[in-house]
Chains A and B, each alone.
Chain A
């Protein structure tokens, strides 16, 4: 008896004591606790934040774009020799008036441009020119018609040539705006910025020639006017057996990043099948009801079919009980 009473008193005592100690302990231990906490918990979390931030910006920035679009270390400054440019040219009607800069950058007064042309220098990987090809490239809005979800396109999305081919492109811009035929990834010792570029305001044609390298490779061709490539004006030149396909070429390769599409509530012809508004309202009413009643009927039938199945279970049990 004495044991139990002391025990209950002890437990009660501990409870009251612990609550009072609680307060004391708090004030005593708080200083030390703070010191430790600050250095571990918070600073760490901040570090983590900042690093993630950095990575993010790199991901979304130039780094990825660079790797995927084969934009190597080019620069945009044009080192040009403007010897033949006529400063006081007031006439802007004739098309023969070319402003030559250096040999691989030619531009006329309307902005028709040939950059990175190579008529005669063999790439180091070639002993001789394998074939001479002429390719006509048409560019315009109308070529995007066969690719839903695009706005501009070339007439073809892929051209194939042999390694070491001498290729002359006739770039026919059929729109009334500027378009470009810009090729990337060519050897930089031959092509400034590794690039061959034709640009013209249509409707007009500009031609330029290159000699492709000797190895199998696939080169990006696009129009770099804001969102022309993104909206369909993208293609590839396959040399020999080609290299890796370029993503996002209409009808050829999928986008890296796709939009999400969903069904929409668009008016359809069947909405207009019944001419009379009244008739339509009534049929709509009955249609709605038919749907609900129809579903009900299906449910009923299902239920009826299921009855024997359901009945079998308790029957068996009853039989078992009986036996």
Chain B
């Protein structure tokens, strides 16, 4: 990584960008699968069988993390732009990652 980018808030930026793109790629697939409940319920049942696979559970952990980090990262950016300036920007970024990790871990533990 270029050395002008090695600081917390640039990493927070790229995490927000990456999670956004990943969710954009995931959501059409997700909605497609949901629509199949109406059009092709047998295939959906077969596919849902896969969710018991440990690898899929890890992937779900990742997905919940991305979703959560994008939500909290977005709230952080809205606070940055619309609230009076706060000096604890790095803390906010760290907080959004920490809360997301907590949420996705909780999700993972309840899934396994």
A and B physically associate:
no
